[in-house]
Amino acid sequence: MRAMRLTAWGREPTLTEVERPSPRGDEVLVRVEAVGLCHSDLHVVDAAEGALPYRLPFTLGHEVAGHVAALGPDADGPPPGERVVLYGPWGCGHCARCAAGRDNYCDRRGDLGWHGVGLGRDGGMAEYVLVPSARHLVPIGDLPADQAAPLSDAGLTSYHAIAGLRHTLGDGTNAAVIGVGGLGHLAVQILRATTPSHILAVDIREEALDLARRSGAHVATLLQEDTARVLRARTGGVGVDAVLDFVGSDTTLDLAAALLRPGGELALVGSGGGRLTVRKPGVLPPGSRLSLPFWGTRPELAEVVALARSGALHVETEQFPLSSAPEAFGRLRRGEVRGRTVLVPD
């Protein structure tokens, strides 16, 4: 079968012919219907040798939807033919975190040598992917594969970030979403579907503001020097109850701190490398709580899928055949793709 493999650090991945795996023990073989491609893949491809704990070569693809093709002799999972999305952040499978479906915070992450499917382990940019355990499979019913695949990363990461602060978002509250790209536009939809909050969206691109409005933001504004003042005015001057920063640059973290209301929640999701000084007293108002969410939990993926099946989530995608994966990487790198990039085996 064909697979998009990373074979050397510092070199572009290539489409290679590899043997189709067959499931042993608890493993499940999934026939790929769609696989997302995102900036995390570019970070992996561009990583310097030694920067990531992964052993080469491996197949990329951490956002995977498909159907069960075959079960290992000991696998206890959905029957062949069942359509599923893969829970991506595979952990050790044995620690307390993994047992609770929170592989994203696996206690043994540092010893594993991988971050999940397609991230140090063979992923879904191929015709088939081997899953170590049926516990990583979430049924999707008739949800289109190009929708389900990106939900496993962009959808789940946004959902998990919001889950941590949803208790503060009751009636009459305000939530700010900074950065309305692949994750941010889903965050706006998830906030609309699961909270009564007034949603304020910020981005530096006009087209992202259109996407924010289409996704359900009540206010969408360009990031400018007076943005904090303008948005605070929209909250009656008190500030916002929660800020989700999907960029994480110095500029956006400064904005987040300036927007926050006392006792507010700041979730830093983006890995933009910006710095925020945490000090008492400092730029963060009293009572602020800061979280650094990473990916999401298995039960949350099932909740995201349920939301999407109810019609509350729509992912903007652009599809390419798997045979055009190198071109899709190039387009993503040059910023020429609208929405999430999805590869479909041809």
- 107-136 residues in contact with Zn ion (CB under 5 A) are 108
CA distances to 77, 130, 132, 321 from 93, rounded to whole Å, are: 16, 16, 10, 33
Q: From the CB of 330, what's the least distance to Zn ion, in Å? A: 17
Q: From the CB of 93, what's the least distance to Zn ion, in Å? A: 6
Strands (DSSP E) contained in the chain are 2-6, 14-17, 28-37, 58-59, 63-71, 83-86, 116-117, 120-121, 128-131, 137-139, 174-178, 198-203, 219-222, 240-245, 260-268, 289-291, 317-321, 340-344
Query: Which of 242, 246, 205 has the alpha carbon at shortest distance from 222?
Result: 205
Contact between 38 and Zn ion by CB under 5 A: the answer reads yes
Contact between 176 and Zn ion by CB under 5 A: the answer reads no
Beta carbon nearer to Zn ion, 128 or 295: 295
Beta carbon nearer to Zn ion, 213 or 333: 333
Beta carbon nearer to Zn ion, 186 or 217: 186
- 47-106 residues in contact with Zn ion (CB under 5 A) are 91-92, 95, 98, 106
Number of residues that bind Zn ion (CB under 5 A): 9
Which residue type does 128 have?
Y
38: its two tokens: 């995102």
Is the four-CA dihedral 102, 241, 223, 151 of positive or negative sign? positive
Q: Which of 33, 146, 153, 241 binds Zn ion (CB under 5 A)?
A: 153
Q: From the CB of 110, what's the least distance to Zn ion, in Å? A: 11
Q: Which of 40, 189, 252, 297 binds Zn ion (CB under 5 A)?
A: 40
Choose the stretch contacting Zn ion; rule: CB under 5 A; options: 36-44, 121-129, 172-180, 263-271: 36-44
Q: From the CB of 96, what's the least distance to Zn ion, in Å? A: 8
Question: Which residues make Cβ contacts (< 8 Å) with residue 226, sequence separation at least 6?
Answer: none
Q: From the CB of 106, what's the least distance to Zn ion, in Å? A: 3
Beta carbon nearer to Zn ion, 40 or 195: 40
Q: From the CB of 319, what's the least distance to Zn ion, in Å? A: 16
Beta carbon nearer to Zn ion, 56 or 96: 96
Q: What whole-number distance in Å separates Cα of residue 204 and Cα of residue 222?
A: 5
Contact between 269 and Zn ion by CB under 5 A: the answer reads no
Owner of token pair 């099932």: 302
Beta carbon nearer to Zn ion, 92 or 283: 92
Q: From the CB of 215, what's the least distance to Zn ion, in Å? A: 19
Beta carbon nearer to Zn ion, 44 or 228: 44
Radius of gyration for the chain, computed over Cα atoms and rounded to the nearest angstrom:
20
Q: From the CB of 276, what's the least distance to Zn ion, in Å? A: 24
Beta carbon nearer to Zn ion, 39 or 234: 39
Pairing between β-strand 120-121 and β-strand 14-17 as defined by DSSP bridges: unpaired
Question: Which residues make Cβ contacts (< 8 Å) with residue 231, sequence separation at least 6?
Answer: 176, 200, 202, 219, 221, 240, 259
Beta bridge partners of 63: 36
Q: In the complex, which residues of this chain contact Zn ion (CB under 5 A)?
A: 38, 40, 91-92, 95, 98, 106, 108, 153
